[in-house]
Structure 1
Amino acid sequence: MKLIYQNMLGFLLIIVTTISIIGYSEIGYARNQAYMQNYQRMESYANSLGELAETDEKNGTVLLNDNFLNQLEFVLRGDDVHLRIFNDQNMQIYPRVNAKVQLSDKIFSTLKNGQEIRIQNNHAEHSPIGSTKDAYTGVLVPWMNGKNLVGVAWISSKVTHVERPIYMSKRNLLRALLVTVAVGLILSFIISYYSTKRIKRLSRATQKVALGNFNVQIAHKDSDEIDQLAENFNKMVKALKQSNEEVRAQENRRDQFMADAAHEMRTPLTTINGILEGLQYDAIPEESKPKSIDLMQRETKRLVRLVNENLDYEKIRNNQIMLIKTDFDAMPILRDLKSQLKQNAGKANDEISVTGPEKLPIYADRDRFTQVMVNLVQNAIQFTHDGQIEISGKRLEHASEIFVKDNGIGMSKDQTKYIFERFFKADPSRARMGTGESGLGLAIVSSLIKQHGGKVKVDSEPGKGSTFTIIFYDKGYEQFISKDQ
């Protein structure tokens, strides 16, 4: 069933239920009032007749004579009122009948005690008066002379006469129900159409998003839950658009990596294959063979390094390495690093400097810490020419902070956003042969530091260089984050 019909059905059920409850209460109230007024009217007639009764000092009570009662009943017939009179011996004396008509002993005993009895319908199962052809309602009123019963008057009228206002109320209620249902149908259709129209708009927008259109936005007024849903939909589409852009960027970097890896591997493989063919066919002079073999070794090592970097990154990313963390002084490692990479920096005419406190305590895996620093400094050397590379450190509260600053080519904000991701190269056209051209060095740095419970960030500006900042926390103060963050 369509939502518009569901809403209309819901509105109609509410309307019908409400009208039914109100109508049931109203009819019940009208019935009670009708019978209560009838009881009061009948009791008034009975009490008035009782006052007209005469008493004979010798014979006791003398009830009203038949002629008077016939005339009275004739007058009241317009109100559909009927009389029955019983004497103090429980015998019906008006209207006079040949058969013996009496009240039940229980009812008569109650009346002798001066209690009135109201009868709603003498066709009911427990009616104190026997059933008649037509259903009657009325009262049994005892006439008392002090504590002595004089007689009993049963004054009644037909139930159909009493319930005539109730029938009218039912007809009016039915008319009101029909009119309300008709009006409710129109109003519920308008309201449902308005609501479902907005939902259909959301549905159409969702279909567009499913087809890959992430530029869909829905106008809303922030007035109700559907508008909140539209707002959340807009936020979702923006997030999906960003995710889609990031996935495409990842795919582009992956494709670029595959192309770079194929290129990087093809060159050494071609060199090695050429030398092997030259050795096989004695095309290489004897004096050139040592250089050729040395070249093959370098190219082989280069291939091994490319493969090892990928394997190393996968192990680090999947937490398959064991960190043996200890407390040590980082300053000797930083100074040794300067000496080890001085030759590489000299090829780019760069200078490396190390500054910091006399001791810089670090809680980390010593070998992995060295790997992180080597990758950061190699990255700085790769993108800095005729410049300065500064390595410095300082203590924080429960942590040590290390900086690797260069004045090289720098990066834009879009580049720094992805710099720690796999396959990414800030400037592929400037990448030279050597450690880092695979685009995995900084991804390895980020993964290792996160596994240490530390932090890494980069501040950079095109043409002015970059500053990488890493923080290693002391034991017990590491800040680990979930893998999904």
Structure 2
Amino acid sequence: MKLIYQNMLGFLLIIVTTISIIGYSEIGYARNQAYTQNYQRMEGYANSLGDLAEADGKNGTALLNNNFLNQLQFVLHGDDVHLRIFNDKNQQIYPKTDSDIQLSKTVFNTLQNGQEIRIQNNHDENSPIRSTKDAYTGVLVPWMNGRNLVGIAWISSRVKHVERPIYTAKRNLLRALLITVAVGLLMSFIISYYSTKRIKKLSRATQKVAAGDFDVHIPHKDSDEIDQLAENFNKMVKALKQSNEEVKAQEKRRDQFMADAAHEMRTPLTTINGILEGLQYDAIPEESKPKSIALMQHETKRLIRLVNENLDYEKIRNNQIMLYKVNFNAVPVLHDLRSQLMQNAKKANDQLQVVAPDEVEVYADRDRFTQIMVNLIQNAIQFTHDGKIKIISQRLEHGAQFSVQDNGIGMDEKQMKFIFERFFKADPSRARLGTGESGLGLSIVSSLVKQHGGKIEVKSEPEKGSIFIVTLYDKGYEQFVKKKK
């Protein structure tokens, strides 16, 4: 069943149930009122006749002669009221009949004690008065003179006459129910249509998102739960769009990496294969063979480095390496790295400078710390020409901080966002051999710093240079980041 029909059915059930409860209560109230008023009216007649009967102390019913009662019955007949009179001997004295009509002993004894009897319907099984052709309701009122019974008045009227207002109330209730159902159908359709219309918008938007359209936006007014759902949907679509863009960017960088890796591997392999063919067919002069072999070794090292960087990154990313962390002075390590990388810096006409006190104690794995700083310094050399690169070190409270600052090409915000991701190159066109051309160096740095419980930050502006800041904390102060599930 469609939601709109479910909502309409729900509204109608509520309406019908409410009207039925109200109608049942109203009819019950109308019935009680009708019978109560009828009892009071007939008791009034009976009491008035009783006053006349008590006026004669000798014979209480003497004043109520047949002529008077016939005239009274004629008057009451127009109101559908019927009268019967019994004397103190339980004999019906009006109207006169050939047979001797008496009340049952139980009823007479009750009346003789001065108790009034109300009869709602003499067709009921529990009625104290025998049933008649038509159903009657009425009262039996004793006339008392002190403690002595003077007479009994039985005044009654047809039940259908008393329940006439109840029938009218039922008809009115049925009419109101039909009108209410009709109006309820219309209103429930409008309300359900409005609600399901907004849900259909969400459904259509969901289908578009499933088809890959992440530019969907559902307008809302923040008035109810459906609007809250629409707001959450918009947030979800925005997040999915960002994730999709990041996935595409990752795919693009991966494809670029594969192309770069294929190119980097094809070049040395081609060189090696050419030299081997030359050696095989003695096409290389004897004096050129040492140079050719040295070139093969250089190209082979390039291939090994490319493979090792990928394997190293996977091990670091999957926590498959063991860190042997100790306290040591990092300054000698930085000076050694300056000496080792000075040749690369000279090729780019860069100045390489260490700015540090005599001692900066750090708690880290010495080899991995060296790997972190080598990658950062090589990255600075790669993107700096005719510039200056500073390696800065200092102690902090509960840690040590190391910065690699250059005045090279720098990066914009978009590049900084992905700089630590695998395969990313800030400027692939300016990558040079031997200086992290695989696009894995900074990814390895970021993973190693995190495994040390430290943090890495980058600040950069295009054409003004970059600064990478690594903070490694003392033992017991590491900031370990929980992995996402």
AA matched with 2:156? S
2:282 equivalent to 1:282: yes
Using a 3 Å threshold, how does the CA distance of structure 1 residues 408 and 103 change in structure 2: closer, same or farther?
same
Q: How does 1:5-404 map to 2 (within 5 A)?
A: 5-54=5-54, 64-97=64-97, 98=99, 100-103=101-104, 105=106, 107-404=107-404
Give the secondary-structure state (helix, strand or coil) at the position aligned to 1:194: helix
2:423 equivalent to 1:442: no
Give the secondary-structure state (helix, strand or coil) at the position aligned to 1:395: strand
* CA shift digits 1:28-67 (9 cap, x unpaired): 2212211111111121112112111147666787684444
Counterparts of 1:57 and 1:6, CA distance in 2: 77
Contact 1:54 1:63 in 2 (8 A): no
Using a 3 Å threshold, how does the CA distance of structure 1 residues 61 and 38 change in structure 2: closer, same or farther?
closer
Contact 2:91 2:100 in 1 (8 A): no
Give the secondary-structure state (helix, strand or coil) at the position aligned to 1:426: coil
AA matched with 1:101? Q
Using a 3 Å threshold, how does the CA distance of structure 1 residues 379 and 158 change in structure 2: closer, same or farther?
same
Counterparts of 1:65 and 1:397, CA distance in 2: 124
Counterparts of 1:417 and 1:473, CA distance in 2: 24
Counterparts of 1:411 and 1:80, CA distance in 2: 107
AA matched with 2:376? L
Structure 1, 375-384 or 56-65: larger mean CA deviation = 56-65
Give the secondary-structure state (helix, strand or coil) at the position aligned to 1:378: helix
Counterparts of 1:125 and 1:367, CA distance in 2: 107
Counterparts of 2:58 and 2:419, CA distance in 1: 129
Counterparts of 2:105 and 2:390, CA distance in 1: 120
AA matched with 2:139? V
Counterparts of 1:398 and 1:146, CA distance in 2: 111
Give the secondary-structure state (helix, strand or coil) at the position aligned to 1:143: strand
Counterparts of 1:478 and 1:109, CA distance in 2: 103
AA matched with 1:21? I
Counterparts of 1:475 and 1:159, CA distance in 2: 100
Number of residue pairs matched?
484
Structure 1 runs not aligned, ≥5 long: none
Counterparts of 1:467 and 1:197, CA distance in 2: 55
Contact 2:84 2:94 in 1 (8 A): yes
Give the secondary-structure state (helix, strand or coil) at the position aligned to 1:362: strand
Counterparts of 2:171 and 2:435, CA distance in 1: 95
**TM (normalized to structure 2)?**
0.91
Structure 1, 290-299 or 259-268: larger mean CA deviation = 290-299
**TM (normalized to structure 1)?**
0.91
Structure 1, 363-372 or 168-177: larger mean CA deviation = 363-372
Give how far 1:89 is off. Answer: 4.5
Counterparts of 1:207 and 1:431, CA distance in 2: 44
Counterparts of 1:361 and 1:31, CA distance in 2: 99
Contact 1:104 1:128 in 2 (8 A): no
Give the secondary-structure state (helix, strand or coil) at the position aligned to 2:459: strand
Give the secondary-structure state (helix, strand or coil) at the position aligned to 1:392: strand
* CA shift digits 1:148-185 (9 cap, x unpaired): 33333332222211111111111112222222222233
Give how far 1:317 is off. Answer: 1.6
Counterparts of 1:432 and 1:158, CA distance in 2: 116
Counterparts of 1:395 and 1:92, CA distance in 2: 125
Using a 3 Å threshold, how does the CA distance of structure 1 residues 180 and 394 change in structure 2: closer, same or farther?
same
AA matched with 1:266? R
Give how far 1:433 is off. Answer: 0.7
Structure 2 runs not aligned, ≥5 long: none
AA matched with 1:422? R
For residue 480 of structure 2, what is the aligned residue in structure 1?
480
Give the secondary-structure state (helix, strand or coil) at the position aligned to 1:49: helix
Using a 3 Å threshold, how does the CA distance of structure 1 residues 277 and 41 change in structure 2: closer, same or farther?
same
Counterparts of 1:397 and 1:153, CA distance in 2: 111
* CA shift digits 1:463-483 (9 cap, x unpaired): 111111122233333333333
Give how far 1:320 is off. Answer: 2.3
Using a 3 Å threshold, how does the CA distance of structure 1 residues 56 and 237 change in structure 2: closer, same or farther?
closer
Give how far 1:404 is off. Answer: 1.2
Aligned CA RMSD, in angstroms, stands at 2.5
Counterparts of 1:316 and 1:465, CA distance in 2: 28
For residue 426 of structure 1, what is the aligned residue in structure 2?
426
Using a 3 Å threshold, how does the CA distance of structure 1 residues 156 and 332 change in structure 2: closer, same or farther?
farther
AA matched with 1:125? E
Using a 3 Å threshold, how does the CA distance of structure 1 residues 429 and 53 change in structure 2: closer, same or farther?
same
Contact 2:84 2:92 in 1 (8 A): yes
Give the secondary-structure state (helix, strand or coil) at the position aligned to 1:79: coil
Contact 1:54 1:64 in 2 (8 A): no
Counterparts of 1:109 and 1:332, CA distance in 2: 127
* CA shift digits 1:182-211 (9 cap, x unpaired): 223333333333333333333333333332
Counterparts of 1:130 and 1:214, CA distance in 2: 85
Question: Sequence identity, in percent?
Answer: 79
Counterparts of 1:271 and 1:395, CA distance in 2: 48
Counterparts of 2:452 and 2:298, CA distance in 1: 33
